[in-house]
Amino acid sequence: MASIRKLKSGYRAEVARNGIRKSKVFPTKQEAKDWASRAEYEILNHDKVAAKLTLGEVFERYAREVSPAKRGHRWEAIRLEKIGRDAIAKIRLEDLSAKDFAKWRDMRLKEVAPASVIREMQLMSSVLTVARRDWELIGVNPLSDVRKPAKPPARDRLPTLAEIEAMQFSAGEDLEKATARAFHAFKFAMVTAMRAGEIASLDWDRVDLDRRVALSSHTKNGRPREVPLSTRALELLRELPVLDPVFGLSSRQLDVLFRKLRDRAGVAGLTFHDSRHAAITALSTKLDVLALARMVGHTDLRQLRVYYNESAEELAKRLD
């Protein structure tokens, strides 16, 4: 039943039907009554109301209620808003089927790479899973029956010595300048296998030079981890001016500056993340697979195959 109570700040409407309770405060009594009537109708006619919702409206609710709890919530909300402008977002849940997503997939593949389509399908599947399991808006996830595009082959791009020298010249040696520190961060990544976000967020109070350990809290899986520091990693840290964070750069600054110095050096096809490939390939000659997985933060040993890029020629030399 609905009830309206007068408060100093306005009127509180309370609804309790079928074991579900809702309440909200409004400035006027009439607004409280109108809301209570709608709330009662939605509770009593849940299935009908849910069926009339469009996929875009479900995206909006997910971005509002679920995404903020995630570390990458901003980018997730941006992606949901973009997909929400597609024709598929205007389809009601009651009319939504696997063929709608298959059609969307095929059209999207004409615009972006398969990897991007896979990420967007995974995001939409997460939304529909919450809509089914937590919100009880749908009985099944129609996207679960849709084939994802074939995954592209893993990157095997490693920086060459000539490219590193060219980028060093492009960046300069003066670490008081942000561009030089951006390349310094790249070199640090090549010996620690830390990601750009981890490096950009590294504070001095999380670096123990005596224990040779850096605490990374900005990890991909959200779990803090201690990163062992080699002698070379310590040298790179000690060469930096005293700044906070350690490299004095945000994630965005690091990305922009690295791209600029790379392009100025005439290096093509290299990303900052390729430093992680280089680091894991080099570290694999020093650490066993379990120690390597712990250092780079992988809980699934199969993930190492994506980054491990030692050539057959190099493996042959290790056999002697």
Annotated catalytic residue, options 195, 262, 276, 277: 195
- Kind of pairing between the strands at 207-208 and 20-26: unpaired
Q: How far is CA 289 from the centre of its chain?
A: 26
**298 classed as catalytic:** yes
- Out of 79, 108, 187, 298, the active site residue is 298
Q: Catalytic: which of 17, 41, 260, 308? A: 308
pLDDT tens series, the chain, 320 aa: 678 888 888 898 888 876 667 888 889 888 888 888 777 766 666 555 566 788 999 999 899 889 888 777 788 889 999 999 999 999 988 888 999 999 999 999 999 888 889 999 999 999 999 988 888 788 788 898 899 998 777 677 889 999 999 999 999 999 999 999 999 999 999 999 899 989 999 999 999 999 999 988 765 555 678 888 999 999 999 999 999 899 999 989 999 999 999 999 999 989 999 998 888 888 877 877 777 777 777 666 566 665 555 667 766 676 76
pLDDT of residue 45: 61
* Cα Rg, the chain, nearest whole Å: 26
**What domains can you pick out in the chain, each with its CATH number?**
2-44 (no CATH), 52-145 (1.10.150), 161-318 (1.10.443.10)
Q: How far apart are CA 218 and CA 202, in angstroms?
A: 8
- How many angstroms separate the CA atoms of 265 and 270, rounded? 11
Residues for the chain: how many in total? Answer: 320
Active site residue 155: no
Give yes or no: 62 in active site: no
Q: What is the DSSP string of 3-43?
A: EEEEETTEEEEEEEETTEEEEEEESSHHHHHHHHHHHHHHH
Clarify whether 21 is annotated catalytic: no
The single-letter code of the amino acid at 183 is F
C-alpha distances in Å from residue 239, one per residue of 57, 167, 180: 52, 18, 12
How much is the pTM? Answer: 0.60
DSSP bridge partners of 20: 17
Cα–Cα distance, 46 to 254 (Å, whole number): 48
User: Choosing from 99, 220, 252, 273, which is the catalytic residue?
Assistant: 220
